Amino acid sequence: MKKIQLFSPVYSVDECLAEIRKCLEAGWTGLGFKTVEFEEAWKNYTGLPNAHFLNSSTQGLHLAMKIFKYELNWREGDEVITTPLTFVSTNHAILYENLKPVFADVDETLCLDPQSVREKIGPKTRAVVFVGFGGNAGKLDEISRICKEYNLVLILDAAHMSGTKYRERHIGSEADCAVFSYHAVKNLSIGDGGMICFKEKALDEKARKWSWMGINNDTFSRAGHGGYKWLYDVEYLGLKAHGNSIMAAIALVQLKYLDRDNEIRRKYCDLYTRLLENNLQIKLVKHFDDCVSSRHLFQIRVPAALRDILILFLNAKEIYPGVHYRLNTDYKMYNYASGTCPRAEEAAKEIISLPLHLRMTEEDVKYICKNINIFLEMISLPLDSNLTDEEVRNVCQKIIKLLRE
């Protein structure tokens, strides 16, 4: 039986190796050369005015916090409104700078709910981090208007959003800073890497210093003026966060196929939707027409009492879904906000991310949906069900019967 994994990246191997070979032959694998090419290619693709290639999107989020805090004189303990339904790097980046994450709730898109954001704004609020969950833009325009109304910085965690189009243009221009991810399982996969895109050119220039230990003149620039120059100044207590040419070489190739690959993902998501939308035990995540999502994830919501049991059932059928994400307020460093975001807490107990990648076929999607429908039809519980011990025993007996068939 074929194993259907949650993610399985695809590379144009020969083209990637050819680009990497150029780095090796030139003797330049670090900052510069291909990183500069990729930054220009990303700006041309997205229409964003600035782009700086980094070794991860986590470093990008941290740099955004660090630079805004430094430039705008934020104090330690100032607050950043964020979501509890995200990978922890979103909120770790806030803590790295001794700022306080204030958690707002999500809406039916699993992105920040504008009304909840309004309710969380206080005298110490300095910024909002909007996570484009699964590539979904949610109500980003409303969040942007709120930030302008209250003079707050808007940071877009666009880790899932490479290729997302919002109101007919690539996502990112709505924010003061957008951060993209090229992690191993992302839509534009290069192993690891990220891009930080500030709206203001002056902040982009500062990011280049902050990401190279605070040095005011990088090695590639110095080498381009008649040989290696060792004399430079160090303006900031910076990080080692910049990307390298090997990763950028892969990115240049992968970017050529991003739109094609995202279209395949959207086709699979449309098929998932058609095959699952009539099952009354399943909720689908809301997407609005003004967003053409990258579709990094396809998520369903099932009764919380059945979520983990369904995953085990699918595993037995060689189908390996995932969960994005465990609620951040369940973790020790964020549990001061436990219970403050009820919609996010409910969603975190119900969501399943179904396999979605380019090694799949339409037949794989049909096989996954068939097994989900078989399981849920036999178990037959409402979405808000809470199982008693007796009901759990009955469910387990039904599952054993299903697995034997």
Last residue of a domain, one of 210, 237, 256: 256
Q: How high is the pLDDT of residue 400?
A: 67
Residues 151 and 84 in one domain: yes
Q: What is the mean pLDDT of each run of 10 residues along the chain (405 residues)?
A: 93 98 97 97 98 98 98 98 98 98 98 98 98 98 98 99 97 98 98 97 97 84 57 92 98 98 98 96 95 98 91 94 98 98 98 98 98 87 63 69 68
2 within domain boundaries: no
Residues 307 and 252 in one domain: no
Q: How high is the pLDDT of residue 381?
A: 60
**ω into 268 cis (within 30 of 0):** no
Closest CA to 328 of 338, 320, 319: 338
381 within domain boundaries: yes
Q: Is the dihedral of CA 148, 149, 153, 157 positive or negative?
A: negative
Residues 290 and 280 in one domain: yes
Give the CATH number, domain containing residue 351.
3.90.1150.10
Task: Quickly tell me which residue has 């990246």 as its tokens.
Answer: 9
Range of the domain at 97: 13-256
Last residue of a domain, one of 256, 285, 317: 256
Residues 71 and 195 in one domain: yes
Q: How high is the pLDDT of residue 389?
A: 63
Residues 78 and 226 in one domain: yes
Global confidence as pTM? 0.94
Beta-carbon contacts of residue 403 (< 8 Å; ≥ 6 apart): 313, 316
Residues 239 and 287 in one domain: no
Q: How far is CA 251 from CA 81, 89, 100, 187, 254, in A?
A: 32, 22, 34, 11, 5
Give the CATH number, domain containing residue 126.
3.40.640.10
3 within domain boundaries: no
Closest CA to 154 of 86, 200, 205: 200
Residues 310 and 387 in one domain: yes
Residues 281 and 244 in one domain: no
Q: How high is the pLDDT of residue 115?
A: 98
Residues 388 and 240 in one domain: no
Q: How high is the pLDDT of residue 231?
A: 78
Residues 247 and 333 in one domain: no
Last residue of a domain, one of 201, 226, 256: 256
Q: Extract the tokens encoding 402.
A: 């299903």
1 within domain boundaries: no
Rounded Cα gap, residues 325 and 299, in angstroms = 11
7 within domain boundaries: no
Q: Extract the tokens encoding 159.
A: 């880790």
Domains identified in the chain, total number: 2
